[in-house]
Structure 1
Amino acid sequence: MKFKQAYSRDEPPGGGVSLEELISPDNEVRFIDAFVDSLPLGELGFRTDFLDNGRPAYHPSVLLKLLVYGYLNRIRSSRCLERECHRNLEVMWLLGQLAPDHNTIANFRKNNSTAITRVFRATVRTAQHFELIGGELLAGDSTKLRAQNSKKNNYNRGKIARHLDYIEQKLSDCQLALSQPQQAEQAEQLLDAMARHALRREYYLKLLQHLQDAGEDQVSTSDPESRQLIIRNTITEVAYNVQTTVDARHCLLIDYRVTNRNDCKAMGNMLRLAKSIVGNSSFTALFDKGYHTGSELEIAQKLGVTTLVAIPAPAANAPDPGYNVEHFTYDPEQDTYTCPQGAVLTTNGSVYTKHRGKSNQTSFHQYRTKACKTCAVRSLCTSAKNGKLIERNTYTPVFERNRQNIAANPALYKRRQAIVEHPFGTIKRQWGYSYVLTKKGMERASADVGLMLVAYNLRRILNIVGWERLLAYAKACTAFLSLLWALSTMFRARWRSFCQSTKSTVSSAIYP
């Protein structure tokens, strides 16, 4: 039987051809090269000026190309990327056979969080150029990415108190044991144990003091800005919460932000940025019930954005759903509610306040009626001793307007999950990017997340547009950028010459 014959190991790969010949014309690495070359890296915030002393630095385009290539091919580790520089022909072609070490790669990523965000914006502009962003229907949601911090190294006041109680109990046991006759070796062991417990007690007291000084609810010791967040139902994880906005036309991301908070106060800023990116406020935005907050809905309506935010279940349902608050009719002129039985609920005019958290305060009026005492269907309406009580807060009008938006188009909201979960499914399930690779803060985490989303947008655009059109566009941008650079260089040279000639003329006039 005939078999394919291997090449001799003494022969160069590819039969002695160059790297340019080894990389096919339709290889996506050519697009990565053209895309990064088309970016004005200095304007995006990458450092391009270095001192001439010492070893030469790597140009930011080299390191950015390597990172974009790595994230597109599910390689995030700086050490793995370093290995690829020595064995991967595509990377050798892309970097011109340069091979930065893992420290250089990791430092570049952690020091350029803001610039990487601007690279993401460049992918959005590319999508807009090809009319892939509809700007008519947007969906917003968040996803939790696990941080490099275990639950064991995350503390709140209750957990610290339990540790301190345990230590105090152990110290008491050791003191009680020392009060009994002991051999010298056993006494020494008890004293060592007490010293260890005392050190642990000091450590937990410092953590408690940090919580009190910072005014925080929890502290993480490995990744200080990560927080224990609810992932699903009662499942929690020490993670970061990534807020994203997705356009419905092709499920492309147009905005993101890495946070360590929940969703309740995020929608307003997301819509402000979406308005600036899309260029108008005539779009419709879909959000789940985690974003159902009065202040955020008010911001959306002031921006002129139509929002459909899922309505959470009422905190207190009536025994019969037909007597829930939404079935009571409000009269804005009389400031009264009318129940399904025709009774009128009025307010005494007093303003009540509820505090939920540090900065979440709600003011409201209460509405009651004496008709509850003799109502025949009271058992269906309420089980409260004093009859039905309705609370109407300052944000009730915006809640009602959101409810009207959903009632006017109930099928539209059902599209939310299909739109906004598409990127999450690709990034977390298919690519395995379910955690943040970096440590020591939200800014570094933002750089990691930004590169994930750059890779997602580029992959999506490449699949929709095709590499030929995209490569031609990137090369055109590179040529335009080169022309601008040449013109700016010429202008600076002429301006410098003009300033020098003006200076010499003034000097000769003053000192003839």
Structure 2
Amino acid sequence: MDHIIGTDRNQLQFLSLDQMVPEDSWARVIDLFVDILPLEELGFKHARVGKEGRPAYNPSTLLKLYLYGYKHAIRSSRKLAYSCTINVELWWLLHGLRPSFRTIAYFRKENAEAFKSAFRRFVLMLKELELIEGDTVAIDSFKIFAQNNLKNNFNQKKIDRHIEYIDKKVEEYETQLNESDAEDRKELLKKKISEKLSHRKRYEQLSEKLTESGEKQISLIDPDARNLLSSKNISGVGYNIQAAADAKHKLLVHNHIGESTDKRELATAALCVQSLLGLTRFKTLSDAGYTTGDQLYLCKQAGILTYSSPMPSTSPSDNCYPLSRFIYHKEGNYYICPSGAKMTTHAGWSHRPNYRSRVYKTKDCINCALREKCTQNKIGRVIERSEYQDTIDENNNRVIQNHDYYKLRQQIIEHPFGVLKRQWGFTYTLMKGKANVLSEVNILMIVYNLRRCLSVLGMDGFKKRLKDLADSFAKISCELCLLLLMLCAFVPKKRNEKYLWEFANYYTF
């Protein structure tokens, strides 16, 4: 029995690229999708051809390359450039073009806002196709590493620790210098002291820069990156990516880069979703990290119904009565403790960084028989009530009464994170700066939504929907052209040709 034998390499063959790309290829979906995007309106550079200078690559060509590469976990500009020389689907998709890695890299760097606009436009297209409902939106975050390691990230405590260490070493070297008689040894010690003092000056400059910035930490390689605490207490410098997904088909509808924690991100994400989708009322699902009174209140004011997991109890000790045992009476503004005593407040508002609060206590704590079970504080049990406590209680009650509904959160938002990080390798970013990092996020979210649409509608169904959209856009463009022709009757004859030419350039895809 012979082995399987391939084709003779020297055999001349007549093939077309279209034959070599299957009808259900990912490349064909990208090609159809990008061709219906108004790239100039979205802000992509070189979308309109100039009259002078060297011809530029059409932004649609490079956008198609990125969407294809990110789907296959190819994000490096050099790897993308190499793929253009060996990948048959890319030969077909790019019409045989082979842009250099610099061209590919600059396109991603220079079109950060355009990528954001493209993602938002795609979300609106999905809403028009009735794939996004806007009734329930899940909000969560995931962390990625930045191009900045821990050694190049500093806070004031770390800077002070370095300075203290340097001072100790300098003191040791000076002591050795005074005790040493050998000239060679003295020269070596003087050199070490000089190096340590130069390092100390560098840390002093860092301390001044940190103070001027008003931030709590500073990163030297990527100034926007922050030291984040991820799961299992693993620390790393990176970005906290906030995301929102619609419940109907788990499609992503929003992203932004948040602060180190999620405490102040709920309202930002929810209000952005509301503005983009044009919603008046909808529901959000989020975990306990988002449950802060001021954020819940902002959502309530905007007509957004929050289902955010209640924060764990902050009782002083496991042996103490939980706060739920203390009954608040809104009419009289007082608490009744487990022993039946009335806890009142006499002071005004205490001002916290993001909210105001009042303190409630009672003198009956001194001789109370239940004191050991209630508190270990010398002055007795003290309760601090936020000005947003009513809003927090409303949210907590909704979650408790609708536990099965709240459990949908993980199904909606956790799966996209798994795809982005595990399947496509988005555990770190190749870019520096918030705007550029969001370029990668927006590309990946466009790719994810495209893949979800294929899963929901099937290849043929999704292609048909895209073609229908393209036809509707073309119809609108024709109607606008006809309207312009009618208006040209009222424009001086010499200017008609100029207006028609500019209009055609802008609205023809």
Superposed pair shares fold, TM > 0.5: yes
- 1:154 is displaced (CA, Å) by 0.6
- Note the 1:409-424 alignment, pairs <5 A: 409-424=402-417
- Note the 1:112-261 alignment, pairs <5 A: 112-181=111-180, 183-261=182-260
Q: What residue is the counterpart of 2:369 in the other structure?
A: 376
Selected match of 1:458 from 450, 465, 473:
450
Deviations 1:73-127 (A, max 9, x none): 1111100000011111100110111111111111111111111112222332343
- Compared CA separation, residues 337 and 2, structure 1 to 2 (3 A): same
- Compared CA separation, residues 497 and 99, structure 1 to 2 (3 A): farther
- 1:187 is displaced (CA, Å) by 4.0
RMSD between aligned alpha carbons? 2.5
Report if the CA contact (8 A) 1:46-1:112 is conserved: yes
Report if the CA contact (8 A) 1:35-1:474 is conserved: yes
Aligned partner letter, 1:393: S
- Compared CA separation, residues 235 and 295, structure 1 to 2 (3 A): same
- 1:222 is displaced (CA, Å) by 1.1
Deviations 1:346-368 (A, max 9, x none): 222x124254xxxx243222222
SS in 1 for 2:230: strand
Deviations 1:180-228 (A, max 9, x none): 5555544443343333323322222221111011111111111111000
* CA distance in 2 between partners of 1:8 and 1:311 (Å): 69
Deviations 1:373-429 (A, max 9, x none): 443323222232232222222111111111221232122222222221111111112
- Compared CA separation, residues 164 and 20, structure 1 to 2 (3 A): same
State the percentage of identical aligned residues.
35
- Compared CA separation, residues 75 and 502, structure 1 to 2 (3 A): closer
Report if the CA contact (8 A) 1:30-1:471 is conserved: no
Report if the CA contact (8 A) 1:319-1:381 is conserved: no
* CA distance in 2 between partners of 1:62 and 1:45 (Å): 15
Q: TM-score, normalised by structure 2?
A: 0.90
Aligned partner letter, 1:92: W
Q: What residue is the counterpart of 2:60 in the other structure?
A: 61
- 1:334 is displaced (CA, Å) by 1.2
* CA distance in 2 between partners of 1:375 and 1:51 (Å): 85
Report if the CA contact (8 A) 1:151-1:238 is conserved: yes
Q: Does 1:40 align with 2:38?
A: yes
Q: What residue is the counterpart of 1:338 in the other structure?
A: 336
Q: TM-score, normalised by structure 1?
A: 0.90
- Compared CA separation, residues 131 and 483, structure 1 to 2 (3 A): closer
- Compared CA separation, residues 128 and 187, structure 1 to 2 (3 A): same
Report if the CA contact (8 A) 1:147-1:223 is conserved: yes
Moved more, 142-151 or 466-475: 466-475
Report if the CA contact (8 A) 2:70-2:424 is conserved: no
Q: What residue is the counterpart of 1:508 in the other structure?
A: none
Report if the CA contact (8 A) 2:26-2:68 is conserved: no
- 1:131 is displaced (CA, Å) by 2.8
* CA distance in 1 between partners of 2:155 and 2:195 (Å): 22
SS in 1 for 2:315: coil
- 1:329 is displaced (CA, Å) by 2.0
* CA distance in 2 between partners of 1:249 and 1:304 (Å): 20
Q: What residue is the counterpart of 1:351 in the other structure?
A: 348
Deviations 1:50-75 (A, max 9, x none): 54433211111011000001111111
* CA distance in 1 between partners of 2:77 and 2:236 (Å): 25
Report if the CA contact (8 A) 2:294-2:354 is conserved: no
Report if the CA contact (8 A) 2:133-2:246 is conserved: yes
Moved more, 179-188 or 80-89: 179-188
Report if the CA contact (8 A) 1:329-1:339 is conserved: yes
Task: Identify unmatched segments of 5+ residues in structure 1.
Answer: 505-512
- Compared CA separation, residues 371 and 170, structure 1 to 2 (3 A): closer
- Compared CA separation, residues 301 and 381, structure 1 to 2 (3 A): same
- Note the 1:335-484 alignment, pairs <5 A: 335-348=333-346, 350-355=347-352, 360-439=353-432, 441-484=433-476
Aligned partner letter, 1:345: M
Aligned partner letter, 2:4: K
- 1:179 is displaced (CA, Å) by 3.6
- Compared CA separation, residues 387 and 457, structure 1 to 2 (3 A): same
- Compared CA separation, residues 388 and 34, structure 1 to 2 (3 A): same
* CA distance in 1 between partners of 2:40 and 2:480 (Å): 14
* CA distance in 1 between partners of 2:325 and 2:385 (Å): 14
SS in 2 for 1:276: helix
Report if the CA contact (8 A) 1:347-1:365 is conserved: yes
Aligned length: 495
* CA distance in 2 between partners of 1:183 and 1:486 (Å): 92
